[in-house]
A and B are shown apart, each in its own frame.
Chain A
Amino acid sequence: MAKRVGIEVSLAIAEAAKLANVDVVSAYPITPQTHIVEHLAGLVADGELDAAFIPVESEHSAMSACLGASAVGARTFTASAGQGLELMHEVLYVASAMRLPMVMAVANRALSAPINIWGDHSDAMAVRDTGWIQIFAENGQQVVDNVLCSFRIAEDHRVLLPVMIHLDGFHLTHVIEPIYMPEQDEVDKFLPPPQYPLPLHPDKPLTMGAFGPPYIYTEMKKAQEANLTAAKEVILQCWQEFGSIFGRDYSPVEGYHSEQTKVLLLTMGSFSETAMEAIDKMRDDGKDVGLIRLRLWRPFPFAEIRQAVKNAEVLIVLDRAISFGGPGGPVCSEIRSALYNEDTRPKVIGFVGGLGGRDISVSGFEEIITRGIEIARTGSEQEFEMYGVRE
């Protein structure tokens, strides 16, 4: 039986990677991700984890080392955040296009300038189109569970794609939470050793990441797109099996008092927990409001989102990132686009808030919902509104 322990979420992630028996970790420290890789380096140095820890001079090199490790069939883990993730950027595309199954925890952090080490989703949204499977976690338990699930998903021969697990910098990375840490034998049963079908090996030479001229590039991209889209079925199966073994269930879109509810708020990541408090309070006051939490970001769960909001009249989407000069936050923009051709659909109202580590309190979410309902009725001169910004 798994023990529930009080542990800093960053350390729990490192312990989860240890439970997954990773072979290679290559990473470069950056706030607020540092404790994750620092703890992993400690586990390797102390002989508690039989893995190669490759220290490198930058995140670009960290991701490149991970490519090589994954290509020989090693179970590979890394973590980054903010500017570090951006420095990895071009290599992220290579990892997914070359179908290399690795797992990365991203301690979501705002992007410079100005320098800001605190949390928002700017870094996550900047790597949206890199072809990785992307999961958002709300609390430490979800991160730990999804580290285990992510290796299983990534290494499935129907998938063979890298996975990013997004967790909010500081709000999650630096808090101590009670977390059920699964037992080693349970994890070993759930997560058999990786078997990459075409690993680099001197006995069977092959070329990875070769030239793709105009006559074949389109076919390569179509194959990649079809592969990532089809990964959703495997993700659903994995979560279902995880739930049946470990008793904690996951789905791409989760509702909270959202059935037959007229006004819905949609959030991602740790803010969802505060938003639930606000929903409780408003429902106690007799208001018909509910919450949708988007957990799976790539592949985008179109069917689940459409189903979850089909009876709503107003859908208020909170983004923790901004697409400058565009339609607001990327999440709101994608949700609106996913619903546009539906016969019945809610009005979609976009807010951007919680940037660079600024909190949104329970009363803040109440204000966002109240203002969203008002905009749905009266309209707004702006494409979206920034919550809490001072004039």
Chain B
Amino acid sequence: MEEMPREQQVKFYQKGTYTVGNRLVNAKSRAVQSSITRNNSLTSGHRACQGCGEALGARYAIDAAMRACNNRVMAVNATGCLEVFTTPYPETSWQIPWLHSLFGNAAAVATGVAAATRVKGKPEIRIIAQGGDGGTTDIGFGCLSGMFERNDDVLYICYDNEGYMNTGVQRSSATPPTARTATTPAVGKEPGNVFGTGKNLPRIAMAHGIPYVATASVAALHDLEAKVTKAMSFRGARYIHIQVPCPLGWGSSPASTINVARLSVKCGLFPLFEAERGEVTSSVPIRNPIPVIDFLRTQRRFAHLMKGGEENERKIAKLQAIADENIRRYNLVRKEV
């Protein structure tokens, strides 16, 4: 899948080829987010921080799912930022049927809701489970793996901000190496999160052989919406992993959330790809690749790497090696781009 919709590849749309909408293309080729009638599944008044990437990612994904399923969508939410900032009693920002139970059981609850729709004979109602990286890669991982191996008819969306942000920025198994968090302070011999830890959940999901796995970014809206739409065309267990920068936890400016996500994709640290039944089927080539340092220097969580010295250079080189490995594995830098 290309990041740019096919209709926009014709040579007449140089202006704003990658923008949300574009008055020069037909309405079908514009993003769901450009529509006056988009659902706004997550509406105003929520208590997310300024420039929250997760609030953005959740609206992008659920609005696209609503469009794809004629608004017949129910969501189950793990505990986490997304649950806390959207639904502080007695208010909620959700404009869809939405359920919250515990931190670790979103996948299991969603399995149950999916079973209920089946029993009730309403297969047109589609179930989404969603949570942050904590509720997905750590606390909810057992239930999620079970949902995958049983191939339950649920789309699980992980909004990955690389840490436990609303409890005060603790490390999760999705926190990248060297990143400073409250539990991996930038002190001592090995400042920040250590190399060789953490897990790559999209690849673990692929290993379950489920119908569809994809990664997406708030900086690539057309691609994100296309992947959610595609996921809803499958039955069975599906998984989408969306990177959502957190200005608070990453130490970036609220105004730069999308740009930071873009740099993360452009340097190769966050590859955009999709896989079906365990096999990678496509990836989004990087337009104008950059070295990882251009991404790292936009965030205070990596500020300790910017102080110079051999040790820091070695660490930056190790991060670059991770990016280079992604670029090789997913064929992210191609000649034709």
Genuine A/B complex: no
